[in-house]
Structure formats: C-alpha cells, structure tokens
A and B are shown apart, each in its own frame.
Chain A
Amino acid sequence: MREIASSELFMLALTLVFYIIAVRIQHATRMRLFNPILLGIVAMIAFLKLTGISYETYMTGGRYVDFWLKPAVVALGVPLYRQLSAIRKQLLPLLLSELAGCVAGLISVVLIARGLGATQEVVLSLAPKAVTAPIALEISEAIGGIPSLTTAVVVCTGIFGGMAGFRILDMTHVHSPIAEGLSMGTAAHAVGTAAAMERGDRYGAYSSLGLTLNGLLTAMFAPAILSLLGYVV
C-alpha cells in the first residue's frame, strides 16, 4: 500500500486533484483566503505529513508539474504583448511609479525584517515577496534565499494586499483606476489583481501590468539593492 500511495504517478495525480479542488472551492466561496495556491500547498503538506512521505519522495511526481513553471513564466509574454499599446501611451508615469514602488518595497522589506531580527537567508527569501510566485522563486534562487519560504511569503503577501489594498489606497487618497490597479498588482501580484478585477476590467488590466512590471524590475534591481544594503548576493 505504502509503495503504491507514494509512487510518482500518485504524487503527480494528487497535485492535480488538490489544485482542481482548490480552484473549485475558491469559485464557490469567492473568499480570497481560499487562494488555490495556499489551499493546494496546505492540502498536499497535510497529506504528506499524515502519511509520513518525505518532500523528496513527493517530488519524484511533483517535478513533472514543477518543470512547467519556467515555460509558464515565458507564457506571460503574451498578456504583456497585449498590453503594450496601453503601456506606451502612459510610459513615463507608469515607469516612474513602478520604479518607486519596487525600490521602496525592496528597501522597506529588508529594513523591517532586519529590524525585527531576521536571519540573512530569511531576509533574502523575503526580498522578492511582492512579485508573482514563479518570478519570485527564480529571484530567490538567484540571490540565495530559500525558494519554498519565498513561495509561502509571496502567497501571504498576496492575501494581505488583496484584503487590505483598497483600504490603504482610500486612506492615502489615491482615486483613479490606473493608480489603484497598478498599486494592487505591484504590491500583491495575482491575488491583488483578482481583487482589482472585482472592481472592473480597467482596474484589473492595470493591476496585471503592475505585477508584470514589478516582476521585471524586482528581478533587475533586487541584486543591486541588496548589495547596497550590505548583503552578498
């Protein structure tokens, strides 16, 4: 029984089944706390802990899904292309606000984490926390963080930003679909974009632009900013 329940085929199938169930639960409840990533990961870990199967054994099947992570990031080039003409019209304000948000985010996350006593590997894992998980994972790996910890904090960031984002924008008196959408995507990636989408398509379109641009800018600037703040990456 043990062999058949930990085979690579079973691990692969279970990953797909948990993901499908998680998506269904979110569609049914419409609660951002029931994020498919969060639910899928929690269900899988619970199963593995209960059955005593190690992560290494899980990955004999999980690696078939993991392989497609990089091609999926490449595929984001298609929505990016579709938004190019909107981006070109507004290039300067979009780039300046993205750049400011990206740099302020990187500096604040490092300073707060360090101030509260985080170890170096935790600081490096937290650095790309605002960007969409596939990109954050790649950055975390490149700068010497713990990729699985990065995935966890990325999901938590998305849920927090998605729930609190519009309240923060109200308090700072920012009221335009472009600025609000952009901020949601920049700070809280796909989960923030889902929240923005509920307010309207324009909010959603600029939010997905924000998540794409911040992913790119963070990938480009994280190593330099971390070295300025005294980390060897």
Chain B
Amino acid sequence: MRLLIQIAVLLAFLWAGELVVWLTGVPVPSSIIGMLLLAASLRAGLVKLRHIETVADFMTHNIALFFIPAGVGLMNTLGIIADQWLPITGAVAGSTVVIIAVTGWVHKLTRRAVSNHNHPAHKPLTDKKG
C-alpha cells in the first residue's frame, strides 16, 4: 500500500506539471515543473519524504533504464549521424570544454568576491579537502 501511495503521489505531481503547462503554455517540460513542485512541496511540508522517498530513490537510481527506449530510436537517425559526424563531434567536445572552464572560473571568481565582501579577514577557497 505504501508503494502504491508513493507512485500515486509521483504521478500526481507529473499531472500538476502538465496542468501548469496546459494553463500557461510555458515552453518548459511538464516533468521539470513537476520536479520543482515536488521539491517546493517537500520544503513547505505539504508532502513528507515518507510519502515519496522509496519510489523516488528507486527511479532516480535507475534513471538510465528509462531513456533506453528513446535512445533505441537512434537506429532511425544513423544516417544523419553519418552525414553530420564532424559538426556533432566538434560541437560536443568543444562546447563541453567551454562549459567546464566557464562554470569553474565564474564560481572561483564570484565565490572569492562574495567571501571577501562578507568576511574581509576570511581566507577564501580553503575547502581543498573533499
């Protein structure tokens, strides 16, 4: 019964996400809106972890499974990949380098600025250990 309730809660949040998309027409996936509504409801205490946790952990730990069927659709696009392999591999590799460098650098700079501002005496970036 507990698992059934959790599945029902999960589906209810997805449906709420679809309702928001239907009402507002925002170009954001309904599942993303459902995810935000779920996090917000947990935060507000409207939903407790015990109402969702077991099913949610099972699904997020096995999330790879759920996009295998969509990925198998690749068999219908093998021609496009063969035709466009250069822009595809170039953009994947080049843009990944850009994202890593930009995210890391901006975090380093803003963190230093914020911690200098809050605690002038505090030495920034001291969290070397993991």
For A182, the chain B residues whose CB sits under 8 A away are 103-104, 107
For A175, the chain B residues whose CB sits under 8 A away are 125, 128
For A187, the chain B residues whose CB sits under 8 A away are 96, 99-100, 103
For B69, the chain A residues whose CB sits under 8 A away are 15, 58-59, 62-63, 65-66
Interface SS majority for chain A: helix
Q: Would you call B27 and A112 a contact (CB within 8 A)?
A: no
Select which of A105, A165, A174 is within 8 A of B108 by beta carbon. Answer: A174
Q: Would you call A77 and B13 a contact (CB within 8 A)?
A: yes
Q: Would you call A16 and B65 a contact (CB within 8 A)?
A: yes
Q: Would you call B86 and A100 a contact (CB within 8 A)?
A: no
Q: Would you call B99 and A116 a contact (CB within 8 A)?
A: no
Which residues 25-72 of B have a CB within 8 angstroms of A? 27-32, 34-39, 42-43, 49, 52-53, 55-57, 59-60, 62-72
Which residues 152-198 of A have a CB within 8 angstroms of B? 152-153, 155-157, 160-161, 164-165, 168-169, 172, 174-180, 182-184, 186-188, 190
B121 at interface (Cβ–Cβ under 8 A)? no
Q: Would you call B28 and A219 a contact (CB within 8 A)?
A: yes
A5 at interface (Cβ–Cβ under 8 A)? no
For A230, the chain B residues whose CB sits under 8 A away are none
Q: Would you call B102 and A112 a contact (CB within 8 A)?
A: no
Most buried by A among B36, B73, B80, B130: B73
Q: Would you call B101 and A172 a contact (CB within 8 A)?
A: yes
Interface string of A118-129 (1 = CB under 8 A from B): 110110001001
| Chain A min CB distance to B123 (Å) | 13
Q: With contacts A19-B64, A40-B65, A201-B130 known, is A117 near B55, CB below 8 A?
A: no
Q: With contacts A62-B69, A108-B94, A190-B63 known, is A113 near B87, CB below 8 A?
A: yes
Q: Would you call B106 and A151 a contact (CB within 8 A)?
A: no
Give the CA-CA distance A190 to B67 in the complex, in Å: 13
Which residues 56-104 of A have a CB within 8 angstroms of B? 58-59, 62-63, 65-66, 68-81, 84, 90, 92-94, 96-98, 100-102, 104
Q: With contacts A78-B56, A81-B39, A96-B106 known, is A137 near B70, CB below 8 A?
A: yes
A33 at interface (Cβ–Cβ under 8 A)? no
For B108, the chain A residues whose CB sits under 8 A away are 174, 176, 179
Select which of A19, A78, A121 is within 8 A of B68 by beta carbon. Answer: A19
Q: Would you call A129 and B68 a contact (CB within 8 A)?
A: no
For B65, the chain A residues whose CB sits under 8 A away are 15-16, 19, 36, 40, 65
A202 at interface (Cβ–Cβ under 8 A)? yes
Q: Would you call A78 and B34 a contact (CB within 8 A)?
A: no
Q: Would you call A73 and B34 a contact (CB within 8 A)?
A: yes
Q: Would you call B66 and A78 a contact (CB within 8 A)?
A: no
Q: With contacts A77-B34, A78-B60, A112-B87 known, is A100 near B102, CB below 8 A?
A: yes
Kindly list the 8 A-B residue pairs having the minimum CB-CB distance in the complex, ordered from nearest.
A200-B130, A77-B38, A148-B73, A101-B103, A138-B29, A174-B104, A62-B69, A118-B87
